[in-house]
Structure 1
Amino acid sequence: CLMLKQKALLDSRLYLRAAVEFGSIMLWFYLVDRTTFFTYGTKSYSRDVLTFIFVTLTAVAAWKSMRKYKAPDMLNRWQTEEWKGWMQVLFLLYHYFNAREIYNAIRVFIAGYVWMTGYGNFMYYYHYKDFCLGRFMQMMWRLNFLVTVVCIVLRNSYMLYYICPMHTIFTIFVYATLGLGQKYNATNTGILVKIGLCVLLIYVCWDIKAVFYAIWSPFMFLVGYNDPRKPTDDLLHEWHFRSSLDRYVWIHGMLCAFLKPWAEGFLQRVDSLAFRARVAARTAVIGCTLVVLALWYEHVYKLPKVEYNKLHPYTSWIPISVWIVLRNMTPALRTYSMGIYGWLGTITLETYISQFHTWLTTGIPDGQPKMLLSFLPPEDYPLINFALATAVYVLVSHRLFTLTGTLKTAVVPNKAGRELVRNVILIAVCGSFLWLLSLVIIGAGGWGAGPAVASSTLLDASSTRQLL
């Protein structure tokens, strides 16, 4: 393709079209978030509207998109995708409406995503024993390609999208846990020792702040962040705060994946009991589970934000475990899931990144998303703007998911080899050239801050707090 040979171009039409469409979406992000082409509204919280939207979507999903899995497997793929989907909807509505009163719930949802990083990766590596570099690089591409391009196009820091570095580092940890000393994966003792060593590693590297800063200071260019609306001298504070909140829950995800065969065996034994014994067993399990949930809710969840954050790293596994037990208690619950939420669950990474630049807007490099994209006067048509912006936003996110997968096929082969090395070198060379060219263009054009800085004048004093 680089030599513009006709046959090569024809053979690569799918990938070239994907690259052009991907670039067009990046241009859309720039138009929305770095210019004053559109109008922008301010956030306004309404518990009634947020609840109505979520309840209505859930009712439609349950009515129109219920699907049956092939077998009543615990935590099957459709179920976990559905789980990610409904959590993502609430997470996004929290951002759109600035629903600060559900902050603690959002923290639990984010912990749920990180839990699934530990669970899903452990399940794959433990059962398939596929530690080839090609598959690992495909995962890194999935997690980081989109966010890398967005950071370059909009001159944002990687840490603005903190979910991406969090999932990346914890994915690497799971890969290393099972990839190193693979012979020990064959015994239960070996796995449990590895999990225990993970807990010790996290304690030393995260709970001892001096060690954390010593480890991550050389990577300041990746995980450093300074909110331009709320400057700080401690550029690692954001990374320490975000990653510390969920530093242990991915290990719980690995433990649950390891114990899954025993849990499934227990559920099967309960399912095979006589009717009365089965009802009694399920009632006992559900009752104990609800008692645990009530205690957590009363003594942890109801705490104010700052106090809650102190306990969250050590308690987030409780509501996650409760949800898993309740969601998988009967064969019907394990078999059925809502397709709409499952579909949304497959594009959570894209909806997370895209929300900053085509649903909400940041206005300036490294800015938090403070404003709402509006196609009509925002004061007069807030709900119509919400509907229009959401339609565009979901479409863009879905296309980015598809395009990222298409480009991954072209760039990252399944197996490590000469083709993978060649592609890595080409990406590094071409990327460096384009990055240097962009610096020259920016310097010559005086595009330092971007024209959208003017939109920041719409922010009042109360809206300059960082969105958590």
Structure 2
Amino acid sequence: MENFGPITPGQVSLLVGFVPVIVAWLYSELLVRQNNSNASEISRCSDADSVGNDSKIQLLEGGTSLTPPSEVRRSSPSFLRCLLMDKDFLLQNHSTLRSLTEFGAILSLYYVCDRTNLFGESDQYYSRDLFLFLYFLLIVVAAITSLKKHQNQSPGSGKSVRYLNRDQTEEWKGLMQVLFVMYHYFGALETYNAIRTFIAAYVWMTGFGNFSYYYVRKDFSLSRFAQMMWRLNFFVAFCCIALDNHYMFYYICPMHTFFTLMVYCALGLFNKYNKYGWAIAAKIGACFLVIAVVWEVPGVFDFVWHPFAFLLGYSDPDESEPHGPMDEWHYRSGLDRYIWILGMIYAYYHPTVERWMQKLEETRVWLQMLIKASIVAVCFVVGYLWYEYVFKLDRRTYIAYHPYTSWIPITVYIVLRNITQQFRNYTLALFGWLGKITLETYISQCHIWLRTGGPDKRARKNLSLIPNYPMLNFLLTTAIYVTVAHRVFGLTNRLKMAFVPSGDDKRMLCNIVVAAIAAIVLYCFSLVVFNVPKMLA
């Protein structure tokens, strides 16, 4: 089996780190089975004989522990207890060890599919008819099988479902994500402008969702911040190590991380003033000012971001034209530099617009229909003008207009999607389900659906498991791809609960320190492994 690319110290350290985890998980499985067997035997004996208080069984992770842990072991750090194979610790953390092992197996699958020649690859083929047929077929199937009516109520509005509710935004993300990944799979270059608009909508949701949470919940705790960063970067960090890619290879992740940090800082600083409208206006104005200065004033971007080149630098090895290491970050982040701020504005006025909509629903039918018809007409006119004079521009020209016009189609979609109560009441649950795993499907597509063939190379081939049968291969690889992405979503959340506990900053900081020490030790060990043969030679 040929490897595409040299083995790196990071990959060696990751492998060495997962070996004891796998051993601990296998031992915990054995302990669980032994204790389940012992529990069954004790249960049978208890039908005939009474069991004293000294024979009480402690239930742990579906099993029992017949030997209480000593005080010394109980007071030892979790990391040391794991290394010492403490039985009670392994039983308590059996499900976490299993999740870590499964996560490591998935990373191994990514490496085998993308960086070895064990499986084949095929060229991308685009047919507009096939592309649109598959997309609309999925919408029809979703409408037939997963149309869902919602009963969640907004305060003081009877049975009214809130506009831009969570189910609706998840559906929106799913609808866009399907076209986004199909664009990559089929090489549908003519849809580039649409994909740029979709990415702008994702970034808009970053501003909208995070502002809504922090403004309403007022939770700026360290644990909440750490959980947010875990969700955005845990999976991608391990993919970068396992596949030797730069962080910017998965550019969506640093983009969402940066804009999320901006929202967090904007509302977190002097947050006691967030209840005043003038304070929110000042903060939003400051966000506009910072972004405008950094991205619009020549030289400022390079000055601000140069210290982060080690993290955000990237260049595609297959690109014929040379680029600076920060050009990719400048291009990607600059395209949607303002839209997240508009998401914050929409979130701030969300309650006000909702009250207007509720009053509209309570007006006379003829007046209600007249107002809604007028709104729809205006939306169609504005949408048509944007489509005709912006969207249809060539790629290079469109990019110049995109940062200042992407809010138009987003606003038009929001208005039309929520124009009536009936529209708000229903969503397509299939797309809502897909919308929850957009991060996982975005990252996974490069390695188990497409093929890059080397570190930092863009995916320009498709994974081929059934040669010469492109549609059957598309069916099989898509089923595997979506299933694995969904598993990664679940694993990420389960491991987040284990390592980034809510409301326990002390334990979380301890976990961070232990993880940092373990990573440094493993990396130093891998460097020694790499350099010893050279020294001996």
1:284 aligns with one of 374, 381, 393: 374
For residues 151-170 of structure 1, the aligned pairs below 5 Å read 151-170=240-259
CA distance 1:227–1:439, shift in 2 (3 Å): farther
The equivalent of 2:108 in structure 1 is: 27
CA distance 1:36–1:252, shift in 2 (3 Å): same
The equivalent of 1:466 in structure 2 is: none
CA distance 1:323–1:204, shift in 2 (3 Å): same
> Residue 83 of structure 2 aligns to a residue in which SS?
coil
The equivalent of 1:300 in structure 2 is: 390
The equivalent of 2:96 in structure 1 is: 15
| 1:414 Cα deviation after fit | 1.1
Which ranges of structure 2 fall in alignment gaps of 5 or more residues?
A: 1-81, 154-160
The answer to which of 239-248 and 420-429 deviates more is 420-429
1:428 aligns with one of 512, 516, 519: 516
Counterpart residue identity of residue 33, structure 1: D
1:384 aligns with one of 429, 454, 472: 472
Q: Are 1:58 and 2:143 counterparts?
A: no
> Residue 455 of structure 2 aligns to a residue in which SS?
coil
Q: Are 1:127 and 2:208 counterparts?
A: no
| 1:183 Cα deviation after fit | 2.5
Alpha-carbon distance in 1 for matches of 2:191, 2:358? 36
1:42 aligns with one of 123, 142, 154: 123
For residues 328-407 of structure 1, the aligned pairs below 5 Å read 328-377=418-467, 380-407=468-495
Alpha-carbon distance in 2 for matches of 1:441, 1:83? 49
State which structure, 1 or 2, has the greater radius of gyration over its C-alpha atoms. 2
The equivalent of 2:271 in structure 1 is: 182
Counterpart residue identity of residue 336, structure 2: D
Alpha-carbon distance in 1 for matches of 2:518, 2:446? 27
Q: Are 1:255 and 2:345 counterparts?
A: yes
1:269 aligns with one of 359, 369, 374: 359
Q: Are 1:234 and 2:324 counterparts?
A: yes
Q: Does structure 2 retain, via aligned residues, the 8 Å contact 1:122–1:257? A: yes
Counterpart residue identity of residue 251, structure 2: Y
Alpha-carbon distance in 2 for matches of 1:213, 1:161? 21
> Residue 186 of structure 1 aligns to a residue in which SS?
coil
Alpha-carbon distance in 2 for matches of 1:444, 1:242? 41
The answer to which of 51-60 and 222-231 deviates more is 222-231
Counterpart residue identity of residue 434, structure 1: L
Which ranges of structure 1 fall in alignment gaps of 5 or more residues?
A: 447-468
1:318 aligns with one of 408, 424, 442: 408
Alpha-carbon distance in 1 for matches of 2:515, 2:299? 36
CA distance 1:64–1:424, shift in 2 (3 Å): same
The equivalent of 1:463 in structure 2 is: none
Counterpart residue identity of residue 201, structure 1: V
Alpha-carbon distance in 2 for matches of 1:392, 1:162? 24
CA distance 1:368–1:439, shift in 2 (3 Å): farther
Alpha-carbon distance in 2 for matches of 1:77, 1:235? 38
| Percent of residue pairs identical | 50
| 1:262 Cα deviation after fit | 1.3
Pairwise CA RMSD: 1.3
The equivalent of 2:79 in structure 1 is: none
Deviations 1:419-466 (Å, cap 9, x if unpaired)?
A: 1111011111112223334445566799xxxxxxxxxxxxxxxxxxxx
Counterpart residue identity of residue 262, structure 1: T
Between 1 and 2, higher relative CO (CA 8 Å, sep ≥ 6) is seen in 1
Alpha-carbon distance in 2 for matches of 1:441, 1:57? 50
Alpha-carbon distance in 2 for matches of 1:349, 1:226? 22
Deviations 1:214-233 (Å, cap 9, x if unpaired)?
A: 11111111100011111635
The equivalent of 1:196 in structure 2 is: 285
Q: Does structure 2 retain, via aligned residues, the 8 Å contact 1:132–1:416? A: no
